[in-house]
Amino acid sequence: MSHVFFFLHMIGMLALGFYLVLPFILGRVEKLSAPAKEGTLSAIGGLNRFAQYGLVIQLITGGYLMSQGEYSVVWMIIVVVLLLALFAIGGIMSKPLRLAAAGIRENRDVSAETGKIRTLSAVLSVTLLLMVFFMVYNQIV
């Protein structure tokens, strides 16, 4: 049974891979035309929602896998805090994504929203890299 949960855990991790490439995608958005920018931000919003479902998979399968293994309490606390941070930052980023797409449709200046999105995406990437580090090196802590 744990092999099935491990497989599902890896599938959830693939969904989170979007957060690693997001800062690079957002770096190119400013050079696009307004309709292309709106479409890109809408697509990023949908992919963010998909990654949030991946986080739910990670929560369920990771909780099961943690209960089956021998991990230190410090490591479990770090991993849970990082997972909650990924949930929170991904959720916070959804509002500026919605506002930026709507602002482009209304021909408003959306530089404030895109700045927030870029910052949050960088924080998401770093948080996910930290999570992967602690997953790979779970014996350090």
Assigned token pair, 87: 């949930």
Burial 69-82 (b: 16+ CB within 10 A, else e): eeeeeebbebbeeb
Total Cβ atoms within 10 A of residue 135: 14
Q: Give the three-state DSSP class for 51.
A: helix
For the chain, what is the total number of helices (H) and then of strands (E)? 4, 0
Assigned token pair, 55: 């986080």
Residue 140: which pLDDT band, with cuts at 50, 70 and 90? Answer: confident
- Tens-digit pLDDT profile for residues 13-57: 999 999 999 999 998 888 888 899 999 999 999 999 999 999 999
Q: What element of type H or E holds 108? A: none
Question: Residue 138 has what pLDDT?
Answer: 84
Question: Residue 123 has what pLDDT?
Answer: 97
- Say if pTM beats, i.e. exceeds, 0.85: yes
Taking alpha carbons only, the member of 8, 20, 3, 5 closest to residue 132 is 20
- Tens-digit pLDDT profile for residues 95-104: 999 999 999 9
Total Cβ atoms within 10 A of residue 33: 9
Helix, strand, coil percentages in the chain from 3-state DSSP, rounded to 5: 85, 0, 15
Residue 84: which pLDDT band, with cuts at 50, 70 and 90? Answer: very high
Question: Residue 139 has what pLDDT?
Answer: 82
